[in-house]
Chains A and B, each alone.
Chain A
Amino acid sequence: MKRPIIQFDNFSFKYRTQMDVTLKQINLTIYEGEKILILGPSGSGKSTLSQCINGLIPNSYSGDITGTLLVCNKEPAKVGIFEMSKSVGTVLQDPDGQFIGLTVAEDIAFSMENECVAQPIMKQKVQEAATLVSIDHLLEQPPQELSGGQKQRVSIAGVMTEQVEILLFDEPLANLDPAAGKYTIELIDQIHQLSDTTVIIIEHRLEDVLHRQVDRIIVMDNGEIVADMNPDMLLSGNILTTVGIREPLYITALKYANCKIQEHQKPSQLNSYITEIEKNNIQTWYNSYTKEKTQEKEEEILAIEKVFFSYANKRPVLQDVQFTIKKGEMISIVGKNGAGKSTLAKLICGFEQVNDGRILFRGKDMANDGIAKRAEKIGYVMQNPNQMISKSLIFEEVALGLIARGLSEEETKQRVEATLKICGLYPFRNWPVSALSFGQKKRVTIASILVLNPEIIILDEPTAGQDFRHYTEIMKFLEELNRNHGITILMITHDMHLMLEYTTRGIVIADGKLIFDQKTSEILTNSNIVEQASLKVTSLFELAKACEIENPIDFIESFIEYDREVREHGADAILHA
């Protein structure tokens, strides 16, 4: 029997600043050398649980604890953060907050510096750790020159120098492009296999984590543990749907095709799972389902013509980019970090000026329109809503742009209220912004753009860091704006599910060039494009191949349409239609 390394015993926790208990009667034992995934929607208490393990709770965030917790035979509440950091290494979610050093090498060395390790030993260990995560060629780089994925690898290298017994990863996939996320999961697996470290991953993106084997999954909801089992058992049950975690897409597809998910068949491994039965069922489902034809949009609204751009004296960011957008389209712009996606958005909004080429709105060159002028046609929503909100009341925040344009009080009130109604914020209009959740704040920022009546809205990573429930909420809202209010929507995103499900067309940018402009289902089945743009092939494609379906693109499209109908109306509605 393996030695228990973490033991929660009737453990409860309440933050001092909150009314309700966040963790309720937790009983959990984790054994030495295990690889554990702690899964749960936002607010389920999974991050709180991890902060109890590394000692941030109650040493940094105070509150009341009942019951006991032992980590490596120490009580985190008693011994403090420093003592715990000898046993538990934590990689935080925010790569920028975590990157403290002025260069990569210094950041890796940070905890050794604090331990007063002699310089020669430090240099050697930095080299070793950097090599392990393949960033040894970047040692002298400042954080500003690194991508999110590279910064995260620096953090991992940093904890690798500490020789801890437990490694804790807090939402490691939150800020990464798909390829970088895949690499991180592989890297964590490699570290786990090389050392006898216990690995704990906190995430809500199940399918991505299951890219590599985990021993056990703990599912949390409302501060309680609702499941503690191996991945195969979890996938064959229906707990995930209950708590609002998205199951892997191929599992959903198999369920639609009337396959019973069998634990002993190991559903966590797609390739070995498919037998003749599944193959037949999937093919039957596919052949019986006919999807609707989507209508082609006609009216051209925005044209990008041979656009070139580079920041002063630096390498070109965009080269010869050309595409058009039709009114009413909903489009994704994808590509790896630093490929030029955000720059493209900035050029369209007039934040930067093109070096060469033209940007036309309804056939008219916008070169002479300033930022404010363009904003009346094209709105831009930043990734972090906190960076846009400057008023304390919701009404004032949404009214800001109208007041600045000198509209009368009467008209301002009318337009703001109308917009708040569209955005479902009307009942909250007199609330302080600080009382809202992240998703609601996002709506406020969208409302503050929408109030200016733009025809196009550009959103930068609209769902970054959101769990499935909030993700769906935001995306449903955007879809409604698109369908019912005719607003053209352009999204910069890393999220492949988002691109597939909500947008019909994707523009792929790699190294400053437009390399693909096609239906989104075609992007994720083209391995060449996927690799160039740091994307990831969807598991539906693999499922289609395993089931020998001739036209995987069409299969994926059918699945998405079917899935959407199921989620909107329930499975019965389709069956009887």
Chain B
Amino acid sequence: MKNNGNRIVVATGIGTALYIALSYVSIPLGFIPNTAIQPRTALLAFLAAIFGPFVGGAVGLIGHTLADALQYGSVWWSWVFPDALFGIAAGLFAAKYAIEEGGFGTKQIVLFNIVQIVANVVAWVVVAPVLDIVIYAEPANKVFTQGAFACLGNVITVGVVGTLLGLAYTKVKAKSSSLKKED
């Protein structure tokens, strides 16, 4: 499939729908309080790594806004923007990951994870707490602690679930040659 404009529109739409559906799923980490494996974050990184920064940013922005609105009836903007930022960052090197071409190997996985860790730290340890302070005038130590936990949870989620998604999908897409039947 060629990556034309319509495919981007649809990827954003379906990606957003998936993001929202997955917003209802999370698994608390247990040994660290307030931190959970959130599959939607892994999904966001995975989609961005396939379709690029535009889809990543759009799914993060629209998905998080709609998910907040549909689930809670209000939107926490200070957490929406970091998610969009994270989506953009995760998609910056989409072409290099070559997931759909079956090229997501060790080198690509390392790059993908370096990018996601940096992006998560910037988004959740810097941007989100600062926005919380500026917008909601919440206490600094509270929001930085929250941000740090969120960052940790997301780094683990994307590192494990996101990487595995990429690996599995690249295998689905890869040309399977030299397969032999065995007795």
Contact = CB atoms under 8 A, between A and B. Distances in A.
Contacts of B4: 60
A427 B179 contact: no
Given A392-B168, A392-B171, A431 B176 contact: yes
A324 interface: no
Interface in A42-68: 59-62
Interface string B147-180: 0000000000000000000001001111110010
A429 B180 CA distance: 10
Interface in A421-436: 426-432, 434-435
A431 B168 contact: no
Contact of B176 (A426, A427, A435): A435
B22 to A, nearest CB: 15
Interface string B51-91: 00000000000000000000000000000000000000000
A60 B176 contact: no
A434 B170 CA distance: 11
Contacts of B171: 392, 432, 434
B109 to A, nearest CB: 16
Interface string B1-29: 11010000000000000000000000000
Contacts of B175: 17
A434 B172 contact: yes
A426 B181 CA distance: 9
A431 B176 CA distance: 9
A429 B168 CA distance: 18
A467 B110 CA distance: 44
A427 B1 contact: no
A432 B176 contact: yes
Contacts of B1: 60-61
Interface residues of B, number: 14
Contacts of A426: 182
Interface string A58-85: 0111100000000000000000000000
Given A60-B1, A62-B2, A435-B176, A427 B168 contact: no
B97 to A, nearest CB: 18
A386 to B, nearest CB: 10
Contacts of A17: 175
A40 to B, nearest CB: 24
Contact of B183 (A59, A427, A432): A427
Contacts of B173: 434
B182 A427 contact: yes
Nearest to A18: B175
Contacts of A434: 171-174, 176
Nearest to B172: A434
Contact of B179 (A61, A62, A431): A431
Contacts of A59: 2
A430 B180 CA distance: 9
B32 to A, nearest CB: 26
B124 to A, nearest CB: 29
A428 B181 contact: yes
B178 to A, nearest CB: 11
Given A60-B2, A392-B168, A392-B172, A435 B179 contact: yes
Interface string B38-60: 00000000000000000000000
Contacts of A61: 1
Contacts of B179: 431, 435
Given A60-B1, A61-B1, A62-B2, A427 B181 contact: yes
Contacts of B183: 427
Interface in A358-400: 392
B171 to A, nearest CB: 5
Nearest to B7: A60
A434 B169 CA distance: 10
Interface string B80-116: 0000000000000000000000000000000000000
A264 to B, nearest CB: 49
A427 B179 CA distance: 11
B90 to A, nearest CB: 23
B182 A430 contact: yes
Nearest to B171: A392
A59 B171 CA distance: 26
Contacts of A427: 181-183
A59 B183 CA distance: 43
Interface in A394-441: 426-432, 434-435
A488 to B, nearest CB: 32
B170 to A, nearest CB: 10
A76 to B, nearest CB: 15
A428 B181 CA distance: 6
Nearest to A393: B171
B131 to A, nearest CB: 33
A60 to B, nearest CB: 6
A431 B178 CA distance: 10
B7 to A, nearest CB: 9
A14 B172 CA distance: 22
A17 B176 CA distance: 12
A374 B172 CA distance: 32
B149 to A, nearest CB: 29
A430 B176 CA distance: 12
A392 B168 CA distance: 7
B123 to A, nearest CB: 30
A57 B99 CA distance: 24
Contacts of B182: 426-427, 429-430
A564 to B, nearest CB: 30
A49 to B, nearest CB: 19
Given A432-B176, A434-B172, 4 more contacts: A60-B4, A392-B172, A430-B182, A434-B171
Interface of A: 17, 59-62, 392, 426-432, 434-435
- Rank and list the top 6 A-B pairs by shortest CB-CB distance, nearest first: A427-B181, A435-B176, A434-B172, A392-B171, A427-B182, A431-B179
23 contacts: A17-B175, A59-B2, A60-B1, A60-B2, A60-B4, A61-B1, A62-B2, A392-B171, A426-B182, A427-B182, A427-B183, A428-B181, A429-B182, A430-B182, A431-B179, A432-B171, A432-B172, A432-B176, A434-B171, A434-B172, A434-B176, A435-B176, A435-B179
Interface of B: 1-2, 4, 168, 171-176, 179, 181-183
